[in-house]
Chains A and B, each alone.
Chain A
Amino acid sequence: MTPARAPADLIAPVLGGDRRALARLITRVENRAPDALEALARLHPHTGQAALIGVTGAPGTGKSTLVNALALAMRQRGQTVGIVAVDPTSPFSGGAVLGDRVRMTDLAGDGGVFIRSMASRGSLGGLAAATGDVVRVLDAAGFAVVLIETVGAGQSEVDIARMAHTTVVVDAPGLGDDVQAIKAGILEIADILVVNKADRPGAQNTVRALRAMLELGHRLRNAGHHGAGLLPAPLETPAADTWTVPVIETVATEHTGIADVLAALDQHRAHLHSTGEIAERERQRVEAELLARLREALLARLLAAHDPATLAETVRRVVARELDPASAVRALVAAACGDGPPSA
C-alpha cells in the first residue's frame, strides 16, 4: 500500500483539482477521522460557492435517473457537477449495497463530474451524518453545482431541506392514493415537485393530487399569517416575493422535461437571491448543523462521564419500573454536569 497521506496534505491537491486526493479526503471525512476535522476547517473558507441541490423522494421514483439527466444537462451548459448519492446501510450487518451509479453511466468519462456513493451508516434522516461534510469538500473543490441524492425517503426524512438551497421532491404515478399527498412530510419541503415517469398511466392523477395539496398548503399558510382566523384567508394572492412550487412532469430515462426542471432550478436560485432568502436559508442551515454537532459532542462527553455500569444500572431500574425514563435522564445529566437543577 502507498502510505496514506494525512488529510491536511490533501488540501492543496483538492483545491488544485486532483481527483484522487478528493476521493481520499472524502473517505477520511466520511470515516470521521479526527485529523479530517482540521482539513475541513481549512477548507471552510473555500466553500459557499456551489449551488446545493437536494433530490429526494420515495424509492423507485427515479431519483438517480433524474440526477443523471440533470447533471448531463448542466454539463452541456458548462457547469461542473459533484454528486453525492446516499443509500441505506443495513441495520443488521452495517454493510450496504450502493447502486446509484448504475443509472449514471451517461456521466462516465467526464472530468467535470465527480460521483460519490455514500452509505447512510445508521443515520435516519435520509442522509449520512457526514454527508454535509462531504458536500462541503466538493463545494471547496470548486464544483459549480452539488447534487445530493437522499436515501429513498418516505414521509419524515427531511434533513435534505436543511442542507440544500433547493430541494427537488420526486414522485411517480402509482405509488399511493391522494391521501399520501396530503400527509405531512417530504412534500412540504419541496421547492420543486417533479412527477417522473409521466408517460405512465395515472400520471395526470398524481399531478392533480400534488397541485391540490400545494393549493391547500398555500391557503393554510396565508391563514396563519392572518392571525386568529377572524379574516377569511385570501384566495391565491401570491405576493411577488412568494415562491410558487412548480409541478413538473418528466420522463428522466428519455430526458423529457429536464429542461423545465433546469429552468425551475434557475428560477428558484434567482428567487433565493432576489428576496435575500438565501441568507436566511444559510443561517438556518448553519444553525441546524451546529445544533446537530453540539448534540453529538455533548452526548459523547456525557456518556464518557458515566461509568458504563451506572448506565446499565439505570437501564435496569427503568425496566424494573423503579424509575421513569425522564427522571433517569435528569439524574444522569445532573450527575455528569456536577450540578443540581439549573439556577433560575
Chain B
Amino acid sequence: MTDEKIRVLIAKPGLDGHDRGAKVIARALRDAGMEVIYTGLRQTPEMIAEAALQEDVRVVGLSILSGAHMALIPRILEELRAAGLDDVLVLVGGIIPDDDIPTLLAQGVSAVFGPGTNTDDIVRFIRTALAAPSA
C-alpha cells in the first residue's frame, strides 16, 4: 500500500526578485498531483542542493530571470553532484537565450522551458522522464 508522490523542489537562485513564474509552475505541478517544495527567493547553489537532499526530491526546477544562468547553473549542478544527487532531474525556466540552451543541456540540465511554455508540457516531461527505466 505505498503512496508515492513525485516531489519537486522549485527554487529561485540568484538575486532577481520576481517569482511569479516560479509560483505559477509550483501551482501547476501541485494541480498535477505532485508535492512541490517552494524555497523562495535568493537561494544560493549550496542552499538549493541542501534543500534537494533533505527533501529527497526527484526533480529540481530553477527559475532564473536575471541573466546569470550561465554562472549559476553550473555551480548548482556541481553542488547537486557533490551531494550525491546526480540522478535528480534539473529543469530550468525563465529568460534563457536559445544560444545558451545546448550548453546547459550538455552540462546536465534535463530541459529548458522558456516563457509561454504550456505547463502541461512540463508535467508531461517530468512524468515521462521519471517513468523511463534509467533517467
Residue numbers of A with Cβ under 8 A of B are 1-2, 19-20, 23-24, 26-27, 31-34, 89-90, 92-99, 101-102, 105, 108-109, 114-117, 119, 121, 300
Distance in angstroms between the alpha carbons of A117 and B39 in the assembled complex: 11
- Chain B: minimal CB distance from A9 (Å): 15
Contact among B2, B37, B40 for A32, CB-based, below 8 A: B2
Determine whether B106 belongs to the interface, using a CB cutoff of 8 Å to chain A.
no
Whether the pair A20, B53 counts as a contact (CB closer than 8 A) is: yes
Determine whether B78 belongs to the interface, using a CB cutoff of 8 Å to chain A.
no
Distance in angstroms between the alpha carbons of A109 and B43 in the assembled complex: 11
Whether the pair A115, B54 counts as a contact (CB closer than 8 A) is: yes
Contact among B3, B26, B37, B53 for A121, CB-based, below 8 A: B3
CB-based nearest B residue for A122: B3
B residues 32-70 touching A (CB-CB < 8 Å): 32-40, 43-44, 46-47, 50-51, 53-56
Distance in angstroms between the alpha carbons of A121 and B40 in the assembled complex: 23
Task: Name which of B29, B30, B43, B46 has the most chain A CB atoms within 10 A of its CB.
Answer: B30
Determine whether B84 belongs to the interface, using a CB cutoff of 8 Å to chain A.
yes
Find chain B residues with CB under 8 A from A96 CB: 30, 35-36
A-B contact pairs, 26 of them (CB 8 A): A1-B87, A1-B135, A26-B56, A31-B2, A32-B1, A34-B1, A95-B29, A95-B31, A95-B35, A96-B35, A96-B36, A97-B36, A98-B37, A99-B37, A99-B40, A101-B37, A102-B38, A102-B39, A109-B47, A114-B54, A115-B51, A116-B55, A117-B37, A119-B35, A121-B5, A300-B1
- Chain A: minimal CB distance from B43 (Å): 8
Find chain A residues with CB under 8 A from B43 CB: 105
Distance in angstroms between the alpha carbons of A328 and B119 in the assembled complex: 46
Instruction: Known contacts A23-B55, A117-B55; decide if A34 and B2 are in contact (CB<8 Å).
Output: yes
Whether the pair A119, B5 counts as a contact (CB closer than 8 A) is: yes
Whether the pair B47, A93 counts as a contact (CB closer than 8 A) is: no
Distance in angstroms between the alpha carbons of A32 and B4 in the assembled complex: 9
Determine whether B83 belongs to the interface, using a CB cutoff of 8 Å to chain A.
yes
Distance in angstroms between the alpha carbons of A95 and B123 in the assembled complex: 12
Whether the pair B35, A101 counts as a contact (CB closer than 8 A) is: no
Instruction: Known contacts A20-B84, A101-B38, A109-B46; decide if A95 and B32 are in contact (CB<8 Å).
Output: yes
- Chain A: minimal CB distance from B120 (Å): 13
Task: Name which of B2, B35, B86 has the most chain A CB atoms within 10 A of its CB.
Answer: B35
Determine whether B134 belongs to the interface, using a CB cutoff of 8 Å to chain A.
yes
